[in-house]
């Protein structure tokens, strides 16, 4: 039985990945900050799906915690076949804010940790000749919205670069680009969502299911649902001035 490690695996899209992977029969390693919630989620998944669930309490903004997770990914005697770099959160800060703590923490969690864990998993998987790395990016990577877009644009570009380095090794890399997903994400970030139409929202389980299908096919970029594929197409091929205008309108509607 193979093992999958999911960061941010106790809520939102991460929890959906954990459920989908457990349903496929994979043992799990869940990584999150809240030890109590980790224990609860692990017990529920183990009982429901009959898989073994290991937990690692870690704050991915703390380098020593990230390196602990990296060590687990590097353990040749307990191989991890699937890494889901999912930990992250919304940012409701401005690029002009003079207090940079929120920015640097977000970069540590959603960029630096992804770099470290992706590298550790990639080296171990390449040595074995197989494995899968899934990084959660966002459709925000294709627009220009505050601090979150550049972070997710980095995740997208990093995933493509990592896929190039691992090309031909048997290791697949997939960047998942969700749009608006019904999770705790927006509420935690203090982002208003009342102006977003209901038909745009998608369930997190659908995101995870479609992303895993794309990862199985070694697709580097995964955009779940036809509606989001259309939005990505528009964002990529529309004039950048138009994308910036739409991004300004969207940002104002969520303040």
What average pLDDT does range 101-105 have in this prediction?
Answer: 95
Ranges of H-type helices in 166-220 = 185-189, 204-216
**Bridge partner list, 113:** none
Rounded to the nearest integer, the mean pLDDT of the chain is 88
Q: What is the C-alpha separation between 117 and 85, in angstroms, rounded? A: 8
pLDDT in tens, 61-76: 999 999 999 999 999 9
Q: Classify the C-alpha dihedral 181-11-93-193 as positive or negative.
A: positive
pLDDT in tens, 173-214: 999 998 766 555 444 544 444 555 455 557 889 999 999 999
163 touches 179 (CB < 8 A): no
Lowest mean pLDDT among 113-117, 198-202, 218-222: 198-202
Domains of the chain in sequence order: 3-253 (3.40.50.720)
Tell me the pTM.
0.88
103 touches 93 (CB < 8 A): yes
Which of 52, 67, 76 shows the shortest CA–CA distance to 131? 76
DSSP count for the chain of H helices, then E strands? 10, 7
Scanning the structure block, which residue is given the tokens 């954990």?
Answer: 18
Which residues are part of the catalytic machinery? 148
């Amino acid at each position: 039985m193979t093992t999958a490690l999911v960061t941010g695996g106790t809520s939102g899209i991460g929890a959906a990945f954990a459920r989908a992977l457990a349903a496929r029969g994979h043992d799990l390693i869940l990584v999150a900050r809240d030890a109590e919630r980790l224990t609860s989620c692990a017990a529920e998944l183990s009982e429901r799906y009959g898989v073994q669930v290991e937990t690692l309490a870690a704050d991915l903004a703390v380098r020593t915690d990230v390196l602990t997770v990296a060590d687990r990914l590097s353990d040749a005697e307990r191989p991890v076949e699937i890494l889901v770099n999912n930990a992250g959160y919304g940012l409701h800060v401005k690029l002009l804010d003079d207090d940079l703590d929120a920015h640097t923490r977000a970069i540590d969690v959603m960029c630096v940790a992804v770099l470290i864990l992706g590298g550790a998993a990639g080296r171990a998987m390449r040595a074995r000749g197989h494995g899968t790395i899934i990084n959660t990016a966002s459709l925000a990577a294709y627009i220009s919205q505050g601090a979150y877009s550049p972070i997710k644009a980095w995740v997208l570009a990093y995933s493509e670069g990592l896929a190039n380095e691992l090309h031909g090794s048997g290791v697949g890399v997939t960047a998942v680009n969700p749009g608006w997903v019904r999770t705790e994400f927006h509420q935690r970030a203090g982002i208003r969502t009342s102006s977003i139409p209901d038909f745009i929202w998608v369930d997190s389980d659908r995101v995870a299911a479609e992303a895993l299908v794309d990862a199985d096919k070694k697709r580097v970029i995964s955009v779940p649902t036809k509606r989001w594929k259309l939005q990505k197409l528009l964002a990529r091929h529309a004039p950048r001035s138009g994308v910036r205008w739409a991004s300004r309108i969207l940002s104002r509607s969520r303040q």
